[in-house]
Structure 1
Amino acid sequence: MKIKLICDSLCDIPKEIESKEYVEVVPLTVIFGNKEYKDNIDITNEEYYEMLRTSETLPKTSQVTYIQFKEVFDKYIEQGYHIICITGAAKSSGTFQSATLAKNDTSENIHVFDTVNLSLGSGQYVIKACELIEQNLNPEEVIKGLEDIKDSVRLLFVPGTLDYLKKSGRVPVAAAIIGNMLSIKPIFFFDDAEAKLIGKVRGSKHIASKLVDTILEMNDNNLENKIITIGYGDNYSDFEKLKEEVNKRIKARRILFTRGGSCICSHTGPEILAISCSD
């Protein structure tokens, strides 16, 4: 049985996953002023980070449309594929609804899956789906496997500054100002399609160790059977510190690396550190 795995660009996935021949990423649209860019097609991550740093206005993102999904679904159904489509959280974007509407107008051989997560959290489901597809499971078995890991998916992230979250309305202005003045770095846990503040660390020096502390605590200090993904933006030196900390303190089934895409960094800024895990 031929399976095509489709995800939207709210799912931040490692290059080795994106490059698999049966995987296709459908891009959201990034809007800078009067210009529109297809995420990671018309604009690279590096170009996006630079524009984000120099722009006076915060970019906007637009969901994947019904038409985009319909075209992709039609193409692969005509080629005899069964389709599994994985999207970012329905509560955070209309992309899941677009995919569902396109599925209903296309074929029964399409399964649309809401990750109830974003970025690396959504990416965990894409990674897991690849493992299950490569075990020659059928689409129903793959979807069941994705449902089975929902309780294990964890995503933690630390933005380099609260300015972007403040501008996007994701944190109160007063909290953002105080946090920046005191050099307090908040640790957010993405849970049920919502970013929740679960910890703080003063300054940048201890972010890597605190992220590792926290994800270990969330998993009873045992990650041996987990898939770990580390993410960052244009702050490569911070990423290197987190990578070193992970390699030193975490034993996991797989450890993968990726970068925050434009859809996520529009809200967090280009300096972001994140870590996620799942079964």
Structure 2
Amino acid sequence: MTKIQIITDSMTDVPQDIRDRYRIMVVPLKVHFGDEEYKDGVDLTYPEFYKKLSEARDLPRTSQITPPEFLEVFRQGLAEGKEILCINGSSRASGTHQSAVLAKKELDSDKIDVIDTLGLSFGGGMLVYEAAKMAEAGAARQEIVEQLNSLRPKVDHIFTVDTLEYLKKGGRLNPMKATIANILNIKPILTVVDGLVEPLDKVRGSKKVIHKMIELAKQRGGDFSNKTVALAHAIIPEKVEVFKEEVADVLKPREIIVAEIGCTIGTHAGPGTLAIFYYK
């Protein structure tokens, strides 16, 4: 039984089988459609969420986890005699990480570490997964923290969105650029730099996008034979299967994980988003 409780927020999109296997605790952010509030991945299934999202006139709001919510889960872990490692999605995208830092301060315990992955979706989840494997293998908390700090700058995100509409609505993209790209059927390929979304490349038409993403991963990732690759998708299971087959064929990684993009990241990226994560 590991003595370290791994806690993360729902922005890291850690798949259920990994959560179950390593007993990872996920604290949900909230998503608001008008006056209705839902806990990310708890009160709404992902298909229900994306259906509501595509029907909503205005973009839903997402709200961060509060310090009292983290206090509660930290106290619970300490009461069970565990040390706590809380690993959060990018602090540049949400105040959630700061809430965890405040909760740690309030408890004033030397048994808690709070890590900012500066990642989005399973880009942050890669570090959660690494921490969980190390904790299960008996690594000390300090050792895990050092490893995560050294891996954080190496996590690469490459993703594409089906439409720029959601990035535009969320103020993440210039509306004029979004309109032009949609008219020309340009599929943007994006990355994350220092916790924020940046353009990386673009292709005409969705047919070429998977091929291009794999090509970019190959250039940026080098040899994949000993690597874990994670693919994430917003309710496009058939497309992610095709992506997975091509990744297996071209990159030949040691392991491929498939994750679903939840409500928090999905609000800004929209249905049809496809991503690949690995260590550079």
Q: Do they fold alike, i.e. is TM over 0.5? A: yes
Q: Deviation of residue 17 (structure 1)?
A: 1.2
Residues 146-172 of structure 1: CA deviation (Å, up to 9, x unaligned): 112123200111000001111111110
Any unmatched runs of 5+ in structure 2? Answer: none
Match for 1:202: what amino acid?
A: R
Equivalence for 1:258: 259
In structure 2, the residue matched to 1:51 is 52
Partner of 1:207: 209
List per-residue Cα deviations over 1:36-57 (Å, max 9, x = no partner): 0011111111110111111111
Report the Cα distance in structure 1 between the residues aligned to 2:80 and 2:133, rounded to whole angstroms: 23
Q: Distance in 1 between matches of 2:21 and 2:69?
A: 21
**TM superposition shift of 1:14:** 2.3
Deviations 1:224-272 (A, max 9, x none): 2221000101122321221121121112222100110100010011110
Match of 1:176?
A: 178
Normalised to the residue count of structure 2, the TM-score between the two structures is 0.96
Contact 1:179–1:185 at 8 Å: present in 2 too?
A: yes
Q: What residue ranges of structure 1 are gaps of 5+ in the alignment? A: none
Q: How many residues align?
A: 278
Paired with 2:4 and 2:156, the residues of 1 have a C-alpha distance of 27
Following the alignment from structure 1 to structure 2, what is the Cα–Cα distance between the partners of residues 115 and 36? 26
Question: How do 1:83-162 residues align onto structure 2 when only pairs under 5 Å count?
Answer: 83-106=84-107, 107-162=109-164
- Tell me which residue corresponds to 2:271: 270
Q: Structure 2 CA distance, aligned partners of 1:214 and 1:14?
A: 25
Q: Distance in 2 between matches of 1:235 and 1:246?
A: 16
* Partner amino acid, structure 1, of 2:170: S
Shift of 1:195: 0.8
- Partners of 2:73 and 2:22 lie apart in 1 by 15
Q: Which has the higher helix share?
A: 2
What corresponds to 1:75 in structure 2? 76
CA contact (8 A) 1:132 1:145 kept: no
Q: What is the aligned partner in structure 2 of residue 167 from structure 1?
A: 169
Q: Distance in 2 between matches of 1:15 and 1:41?
A: 12
Q: Relative to 1, partners in 2 of residues 1:142 and 1:38: Cα closer, same or farther, differing over 3 Å?
A: same
Alignment-derived partner of residue 26 in structure 1: 27
TM-score by length of 1: 0.97
Matched, 1:191 2:218: no
* Aligned partner letter, 1:147: N
Contact kept, 8 Å, 1:12 with 1:119, in 2: the verdict is yes
* Structure 1 range deviating more: 148-157 or 65-74: 148-157
> 1:2 corresponds to which residue?
3
Contact 2:31 2:60 in 1 (8 A): yes
Q: Could you say what secondary structure the match of 2:101 adopts?
A: helix
Contact 2:161 2:274 survives alignment (8 Å): yes
Question: CA-atom RMSD, angstroms?
Answer: 1.2
Checking the alignment, whether the CA contact within 8 Å between 1:89 and 1:118 is kept in structure 2 is yes
Percent same amino acid among aligned pairs? Answer: 38
Deviation of residue 113 (structure 1)? 0.3
Does the aligned pair in 2 maintain the 1:121–1:276 contact within 8 Å?
Answer: yes
What CA distance in whole angstroms lies between the structure 1 residues aligned with 2:250 and 2:22?
A: 34
2:202 corresponds to which letter in structure 1? Answer: K
Report deviation, 1:21: 4.8
Structure 1 position 70, deviation (Å) = 0.4
Which 10-residue stretch deviates more, 167-176 or 9-18? 9-18
SS of the residue corresponding to residue 256 of structure 2 reads strand
Alpha-carbon distance between aligned partners in 2 of 1:182 and 1:233, rounded to the nearest angstrom: 23
Partner in structure 2 of residue 216 of structure 1: 218
